[in-house]
Structure 1
Amino acid sequence: MAPARHRATRVAILIIVALTLSAGLAPAGPAVAAPSARQNAVTDDPEGGTPALRAELEAASKGYLDAKRALTESVQRQQQLAAQLKTTKAEHAERTKLVEQIADQTYRTGPLRTASVLLDNTSSADFLDRVTGLEGVVANENRALQELQETQEQIVQDTRAVEAEIIEQRKQEALMAKRKEQAENALTVANEKARAAAAAAAAANTSTTQSSAQAAPAPRNPDGSWPAETCSVNDPTPANGCITPRTLHALNEAKAAGFTRYVSCFRSGSSGEHPKGRACDFAAQPDGFGGDATGGDRTYGNNLAAFLVDNADELAVLYVIWYRQIWLPSSGWQSYSGAAGDPSSDHTNHVHLSVY
């Protein structure tokens, strides 16, 4: 069903529910397909913060993950080049020894040996044999010298390549630090008033009472980067609409790990990753989005947030928001408060996940 048709259907259902409530009657029973009021509450403020802040965090996290992958590749290339340089130096040592042996032999026999060898013969056939033999000796000497020169040139090239990779590594490390600072500065500006109180509760808010399961990794490109994806697969949650294949993978991995309470992913007409199909909201309560999660519901949210963070590399996590905190791949947990100050925008009733 097209998104426009879904929106029209939801509007019609909400009108029916509103008319029913205004008449003092109970809402329709199970035959009505609309989610409950608690389930709809999160749509008031999709992700908290501001659109500008979310755009800044998305750019910072993407840049950090890209630089982290480039750094890993640079370190691997350095290791390969270092091994190659070691092999080349070993070959250079062997060829240097061979050339030294040839030079020593020439010194001991003297420069007149060639003429004497050619003149000291008894027949033309013997002369030709000796000429052929000398040509072979000269060719071997020339080849040894050429190979020595080639290994010397290869050492220079390998050394320069290693130096270039060291520069590349420092460049990526600097970029990662810059992206980390970018994200943290954006959060500092947005949460200056709430930082002190929220930071003190960070450990308690994100603690877990169980070990996180291991998620299966989402598919990557051969170079380790994340393939570009669009909102191209059906959203299996009550939100309908579409999500990206990587979002679906993260959703399925969370369910496989036991997090099977109410989830809503696609949402049109809002900012952030929801309309792009790259985000899901996981309710802490079993039946939808309500007030602040407490007791077992809060523990459920803690465990879910921990699972997503522990499997951030496998699931291509851009950020996780839970209980006035946001986790970024560059900076870990930081304070994060919604503009409206309600359970939805403060994320005290659901865990928000955004993927690359």
Structure 2
Amino acid sequence: MTAPLRRWVTPVLAVLAAFAIVAGPAPATAAPSSPTPSGHAPEDDEDPLITEAIADANRGYIRAKAQLEKSKKRQLQLALEVRAAQAQLDALSPQVSAIAAQSYRTGRMGAMTMLLESHSPDSFVRRAALLDELNMVNAQKLAEVNAAKNRAEQAKIALDAEVREQQKQANTMAREKAETEKALKLVGGLGFTGGLVSATSPVARIGPGRTADGDWKPESCSENDPTTSGCVTPRTLHAYKEVKRAGFNRFVGCYRPGGPWEHPKGRACDWSLQKSGFSPWHNNDMRMYGNNVAAFLIRNADRLGIYYVIWNRQIWFPATGWKSYSGPSNHTDHVHMSLL
């Protein structure tokens, strides 16, 4: 094969080899996940409700799904472009084969040799014209194929990046769904709270007496109760301070003498919905305050050593979650917390 011919054929063969890569299997798109509620706070609200966080997450899911569909359409367009470019290469391939075969039969024949073998001026001119025309045609076709290949490569690179981003978004939405379903379950769900509960709670400091294996050491009623003249355990006092530190500053009572359960042991407190005394909730403010106190205690149960929480005719244990509750008090006027 002559040097000029080699210079022309080699790029074409390189293009053919490159298309074996470019026209390979298209990247798989991530299947859209199910609609995904979110526990994350919208940027324009420092203390969003659960319902607002869910709506924000669903909007994000819809956007991600639309972008995934757009990616699929772009993949189809890319496949058509690759096939069109491959068709150009297929049309060019017979010419490459013919030239290669001629070179094999005649040996290393360059352009000058081809022209010098002309037997007349007219033959020389015709050969020169044909050689020039062939080079122009082939150069034009090769330029078109290279351009198509470059377009396909760039589109594929961009599409791969976009699909990876959409897969990331879909995975994020799936995680948000799982996290918020867990959060909803913790606070009792939308039916229990009416959606009137913050999507997040402050993180409490770990209470005293927690062992390395997560258990809690027994404690006696050894600390002065800040709400009465009685006593509370160190862990109850710690939980009391953490609830206050989280911003819940309405009326609260802890120690109560006599009777069963945790109050006379200094291991319980009742968080009222109003600044003094107790009254059942009868507006959204009171209901949301009770919801948020309960949510804070439950979200930090492992850090505070919560035994159980009672609120609004429901009782929560770490092992069982929320269950219906009926007792001497229906607890619609306060949130009860008991400590281990």
TM-score tier, shorter chain, comes to 0.3 to 0.5
More relative contact order, 1 or 2 (CA 8 Å, 6+ apart): 1
What is the TM-score normalised by the length of structure 1? 0.40
